[in-house]
Structure 1
Amino acid sequence: MSLEQDSTPDFKDSVNRVLEEAFFPTSPAATLRESIFSEILAGVLGASPSTEDLDELREAMEAHEAVPDEATAEQIWEVFEASYTTTGERGARGKKAKRYVLPFHPSIAKAIKPKETRNWGKWYRMLMTETDPVALNTSLHDSFVTRLEEMEASNLFEQIFIDAAHELQPGTASQQADPDPIKPYVASCATRFQEDLRVWLDDEYDSPTNWLQSTKDLFCFHFMMYYLQLSINLRAEFQAAADGELETFEPRIREIYFGLWDERATHDRRFSKEWRERDDQGLERFVYDSWGRLAALRLINDAIPESQTSAEQPVYTLSEAVEELSETQQQQCAAEIATFANFEDSGTMDLPTAAVRLVHAVRRYYESRSKSNQTPISMGVNVIRQLGEGQDRRYYRTQRKVGPTLRLNRSALRFFARLFASGQDDKHYEQFLDYLRQRGIYLDSQSQNVALEELDEMGLIDRQSDSGGSVYVRAI
Structure 2
Amino acid sequence: MINAMLPQSKDQVVNKNTLHHYLPVRNRGNEFRWESVIGLVMKMALRMSAEKYDYETFVIDSKAYLAGKLGEEKFWSVLENMYFKHRDILNVSPEFHLFNAQKGQYTKSEERVAALFAQLLQDHNLPEFETRLNFLEKDILSLFKSKINDDHGTLTKEYPYIPFIADNFQRDFTFLARRPHYLLAEIKHFLTFYAFLYCAQLALCIDDWSTGLPPAPKPLFFIMDTEKASAERTHIKRDGFKSFQNSTVKLFPILSMLENLQPDEDFVWPLWKLYSELDKSPNYEEVVNRLKVYSQAFKEQRELNSVLTNSNELSDVIQDLMTLALEQFESLKTTRGEINDKYMREVQGQFGKHFIQTRGRAGRVLVLSQDYLILLTNLVVGENERMQLHDLTDGFKSRGVFFDKQSEQALINFYERIGNIERMSDSGDAVYVRKTV
**1:123 aligned onto 2:116:** yes
Residue number in structure 2 paired with 1:383: 350
Displacement of 1:106 in angstroms is 1.6
Displacement of 1:440 in angstroms is 1.3
Cα distance change on mapping 1:366 and 1:261 into 2, 3 Å:
farther
Partner of residue 162 from structure 2, selected from 183, 186, 193: 186
User: Using the alignment, how far apart are the partners of 1:178 and 1:30 within structure 2?
Assistant: 22
Partner of residue 219 from structure 2, selected from 255, 265, 285: 255
Pick which of 255-264 and 45-54 moved more: 45-54
Pick which of 313-322 and 327-336 moved more: 313-322
User: Using the alignment, how far apart are the partners of 2:80 and 2:212 within structure 1?
Assistant: 65
**Maintained 8 Å contact 1:259/1:407:** yes
Aligned to 1:442, the other structure's residue is in SS state: coil
Aligned to 2:148, the other structure's residue is in SS state: coil
Partner of residue 435 from structure 1, selected from 360, 375, 395: 395
Aligned partner letter, 1:229: Q
Aligned partner letter, 1:196: D
Matched-pair identity in %: 15
**Maintained 8 Å contact 1:41/1:106:** yes
User: Using the alignment, how far apart are the partners of 1:33 and 1:420 within structure 2?
Assistant: 24
The correspondence of residues 102-113 of structure 1 with structure 2, limited to 5 A, is 105-110=94-99, 113=102
Partner of residue 150 from structure 2, selected from 174, 197, 222: 174
Residue number in structure 1 paired with 2:236: 271
Displacement of 1:56 in angstroms is 8.2
Displacement of 1:120 in angstroms is 4.2
User: Using the alignment, how far apart are the partners of 1:378 and 1:161 within structure 2?
Assistant: 44
Cα distance change on mapping 1:364 and 1:77 into 2, 3 Å:
farther
Report the TM-score, using the length of structure 2 for normalisation: 0.72
Residue ranges of structure 2 left out of the alignment (5+ in a row):
1-12, 310-316
**1:454 aligned onto 2:414:** yes
User: Using the alignment, how far apart are the partners of 2:40 and 2:289 within structure 1?
Assistant: 41
User: Using the alignment, how far apart are the partners of 1:348 and 1:442 within structure 2?
Assistant: 38
Deviations 1:197-245 (A, max 9, x none): 3433444xxxx443333244334323321221111111444xxxxxxxx
Deviations 1:319-369 (A, max 9, x none): 437744524323323444554561347997353223211122135478647
User: Using the alignment, how far apart are the partners of 1:343 and 1:316 within structure 2?
Assistant: 22
**Maintained 8 Å contact 2:158/2:269:** no
User: Using the alignment, how far apart are the partners of 1:373 and 1:316 within structure 2?
Assistant: 19
Aligned to 1:257, the other structure's residue is in SS state: coil
Residue number in structure 1 paired with 2:372: 412
User: Using the alignment, how far apart are the partners of 2:250 and 2:237 within structure 1?
Assistant: 21
Residue number in structure 2 paired with 1:360: 327
The correspondence of residues 37-436 of structure 1 with structure 2, limited to 5 A, is 37-48=38-49, 68=74, 80=86, 105-110=94-99, 113=102, 114-116=105-107, 117-129=110-122, 136-137=123-124, 141=125, 143-144=126-127, 146-147=128-129, 150-151=130-131, 153=133, 166=144, 172-174=148-150, 176=152, 179=155, 182-203=158-179, 208-237=180-209, 246-247=210-211, 251-269=215-233, 270-271=235-236, 274=239, 276-277=241-242, 282-301=243-262, 304-306=263-265, 316-317=271-272, 319-320=275-276, 323-324=279-280, 326-336=284-294, 339=297, 342-344=301-303, 349-350=308-309, 351=317, 352-364=319-331, 368=335, 374-377=341-344, 379-385=346-352, 389=354, 396-399=355-358, 401=360, 404-436=364-396
**1:18 aligned onto 2:11:** no
User: Using the alignment, how far apart are the partners of 2:55 and 2:374 within structure 1?
Assistant: 34
Cα distance change on mapping 1:103 and 1:261 into 2, 3 Å:
farther
Aligned partner letter, 1:257: F
User: Using the alignment, how far apart are the partners of 2:57 and 2:342 within structure 1?
Assistant: 35
Aligned to 1:441, the other structure's residue is in SS state: coil
User: Using the alignment, how far apart are the partners of 1:51 and 1:332 within structure 2?
Assistant: 48
Aligned partner letter, 1:328: E
The correspondence of residues 2-17 of structure 1 with structure 2, limited to 5 A, is 14-17=16-19
Instruction: Tell me how large the CA RMSD over aligned residues is.
Output: 4.5
**Maintained 8 Å contact 1:338/1:346:** no
Aligned to 2:302, the other structure's residue is in SS state: coil
User: Using the alignment, how far apart are the partners of 2:54 and 2:391 within structure 1?
Assistant: 48
Work out the number of aligned pairs and report it.
Answer: 398
Cα distance change on mapping 1:74 and 1:434 into 2, 3 Å:
closer
**Maintained 8 Å contact 2:39/2:98:** yes
Report the TM-score, using the length of structure 1 for normalisation: 0.67
User: Using the alignment, how far apart are the partners of 1:422 and 1:202 within structure 2?
Assistant: 11
Pick which of 401-410 and 446-455 moved more: 401-410
**1:33 aligned onto 2:34:** yes
If asked which structure has higher relative contact order (CA below 8 Å, sep 6+), I would say 2
**Maintained 8 Å contact 1:335/1:346:** no
Deviations 1:359-410 (A, max 9, x none): 2213547864797995414643333226xx3xxxxxx143475664322221
User: Using the alignment, how far apart are the partners of 1:353 and 1:103 within structure 2?
Assistant: 54
Aligned partner letter, 2:421: I
Aligned to 2:158, the other structure's residue is in SS state: coil
Aligned to 1:398, the other structure's residue is in SS state: strand
User: Using the alignment, how far apart are the partners of 1:27 and 1:435 within structure 2?
Assistant: 28
Deviations 1:4-56 (A, max 9, x none): xxxxxx988x422334xxxx286574524333222111233344555999888
Displacement of 1:160 in angstroms is 10
**Maintained 8 Å contact 2:224/2:369:** yes
Aligned partner letter, 2:111: R
**Maintained 8 Å contact 1:258/1:442:** yes
Aligned partner letter, 1:376: Y
Aligned to 2:206, the other structure's residue is in SS state: helix
